[in-house]
Amino acid sequence: MKVTYHGHSVVKIETNGKVILIDPFITGNGLTDLKVEEIKPDVILITHGHGDHVGDTVQLAKANNSLVIANDELSTYLSWQGLRVHGMHIGGSYQFDFGKVKLTQAFHGTGLQTGNKEIVYCGMPAGILFTAEGKTIYHAGDTALFSDMKLIGERHPIDLAFLPIGDNYTMGPEDAAYAAKLLGAKTVVPMHYNTFPVIQQDPEEFVKLLEHNNGKILNPGEEIEL
């Protein structure tokens, strides 16, 4: 299984002959190496309904007939735009032909802004546990630190975790380092930082804070083999 980081919270997983894209924020993402017209995902996973995570989902899914997996409210909203969806909710899991997806809690907000200065409620934000080929990846989405991360790690031994470190909207480096300790992930990759001025962070400083985890900084386009 090949896992590639593409800036902000964008992660690509290649496994079982499928390309899976998490939180495909490409247009407007100055840190990504991806181009919308070049990436062809079979599956799109979305952690929550904010523009920098839903991103280019509609365009990508329509162009590639991608299956979109998200919480039930967000998936329903996207189905009204003609997308092929699979709705889930916190604590639920489903075994797909490409791997198993389980949604965990995440402490954050959710909602898409419209041109009429309205916000469309998009259900509860989530983290994602993805398991395939005997390996488990945890994408925390946007979240604060919470103590049940220990329970998540105990119930699901994690090979690779992507944790936000940007602060302001999510955990900062110190809380994220403590989250890594609770999760017990073998390898931890920082995400959701430096895309905007308000979330500027030094990932090297985050890695130095890790006590029991292997921290690995991935530049956009760099990959890990599991």
DSSP E strand stretches across 51-186: 67-71, 84-88, 93-96, 99-105, 112-113, 119-120, 126-132, 135-139, 160-164
Reported as a single tens digit per residue, the pLDDT across 78-92 is: 999 999 999 999 999
Reported as a single tens digit per residue, the pLDDT across 101-116 is: 999 999 999 999 988 8
Token pair of 105, please? Answer: 């809690």
Number of H helices, E strands in the chain: 6, 16
Query: For residue 126, what pLDDT is reported?
Result: 98
Query: For residue 116, what pLDDT is reported?
Result: 87
Three-class SS state of 183: helix
- pLDDT band per the 50, 70, 90 thresholds, residue 212: confident
Regarding beta strands 43-45 and 18-22, do their DSSP bridges make them parallel or antiparallel, or are they unpaired? Answer: parallel
Structural domains present in the chain: 2-214 (3.60.15.10)
Nearest to 155 by CA among 83, 213, 93: 93
Reported as a single tens digit per residue, the pLDDT across 169-191 is: 999 999 999 999 999 999 999 99
Q: Measured at the alpha carbon of residue 192, what is the angle toward residues 187 and 195, in degrees to the nearest 5?
A: 135
Q: How much is the mean pLDDT over the chain?
A: 97
Spatial distance between the Cα atoms of 191 and 117, rounded to a whole number of angstroms: 29
Token pair of 212, please? Answer: 């029991």
Residue with tokens 């119930």: 155
More confident residue, 117 or 203: 203
Regarding beta strands 18-22 and 11-15, do their DSSP bridges make them parallel or antiparallel, or are they unpaired? Answer: antiparallel
Regarding beta strands 187-191 and 214-215, do their DSSP bridges make them parallel or antiparallel, or are they unpaired? Answer: parallel
Reported as a single tens digit per residue, the pLDDT across 8-58 is: 999 999 999 999 999 999 999 999 999 999 999 999 999 999 999 999 999
Query: For residue 211, what pLDDT is reported?
Result: 83
Query: Which residues, 6 or more positions from 38, have their beta carbon under 8 angstroms from its beta carbon?
Result: none
Spatial distance between the Cα atoms of 37 and 40, rounded to a whole number of angstroms: 8
Please give the C-alpha separations between residue 69 and each of 41, 55, 78, 81, 97, in angstroms, as whole numbers: 12, 14, 10, 14, 14
- pTM (two decimals): 0.97
